[in-house]
Amino acid sequence: MIKLAAFNIRCDYNQDGINCFSARKPFILKKIAQEQPHVICFQEVLPHVAVWLKENLTEYYLIGCGRSSTLEDEQTTIAYQKGKYNLISMETFWLSKTPSQPGSRYPQQSICPRACTEAVLQNLQTRELFRIINVHLDHEGTLARTLGLRQILQKLREEKGFPDIPVILAGDFNAFPDSQEMQTMKEYPGLRDMAALAGGTFHDYGKLAQPEKIDYIFAEDKLCSCGIEKWTDCHDGVYLSDHYPLCVEMYTK
């Protein structure tokens, strides 16, 4: 069984008023300590936030690097429990025609490069292997998101190392379920959104009456869900983030 959370932590530029990152820090740590997810896929992790996570999430190893050409800027960080998993392999790749080139991007997307963090983890007790890809797609262009998704899915089809292990694709897709780009997921029919029943995730710190569904935890049909949660915690107007984190418990059939 694997308990995995997808958590857009919101980039910290000392903005957002009462919901600035410094105000949210204690609630983030408290929630993670309460829930104890085995793996967390963070998005929008700036370098100083990555340092803070490593200093405070002492039960986890954290992997990932910045998306820019100098490996700075936002990360898609994967955190996994030290005592539960062994890291078999790890890769960072950019959504572009040159995925191994740091900072590369498609001409059709925004000025922001998009990097994915991929890890193959082994459960130390059961010896089960999982492939996890942490995603944060472009925030502006439908075509850029479509190209990014197709690149990821093609990478999965061509995988030579551990090609048959269960795949989990989690993160902020910046797209609604009925959008044109999300139809791309049908090109890999074995993947389905384990958190579909959780509803909307982006709420802009409670400003949206109906939160928008843009965060997903896709998993192959080799995995079954045995629990879905949306972390909607709010303390005197302070939320965990401007997105509700998703958390799904899954087990292999």
pLDDT of residue 224: 87
pTM of the model: 0.96
Number of domains in the chain: 1
Interatomic CA distance for residues 23 and 219, integer angstroms: 33
pLDDT of residue 189: 87
Q: 82-116: buried (b, 16+ CB within 10 Å) or exposed (e) per residue? A: eebbeeeeeebbbbbeebeebbbbbeebeeebbbb
Q: Tokens 């972390």 identify what position? A: 231
DSSP-assigned states of every residue in 75-111: B--EEEETTTEEEEEEEEEESSSSTTSTT---TTS-S
Q: What type of residue sits at position 180?
A: Q
Interatomic CA distance for residues 212 and 228, integer angstroms: 17
CB atoms within 10 A of CB 38: 20
Low-confidence ranges of the chain (pLDDT < 50): none
Q: For helices 47-56 and 21-35, what crossing angle results, to 10°?
A: 40
pLDDT of residue 226: 87
Residues in the chain: 253
CA angle at 178 for the pair 104 and 107, rounded to the nearest 5°:
20
CB atoms within 10 A of CB 149: 23
Say if strands 129-136 and 115-123 run parallel, antiparallel, or are unpaired: antiparallel
Query: Domain of 10: which CATH number?
Result: 3.60.10.10
pLDDT of residue 213: 98
Interatomic CA distance for residues 75 and 11, integer angstroms: 10
User: Could you tell me the residue range of the domain that residue 193 belongs to?
Assistant: 2-252
Interatomic CA distance for residues 133 and 79, integer angstroms: 12
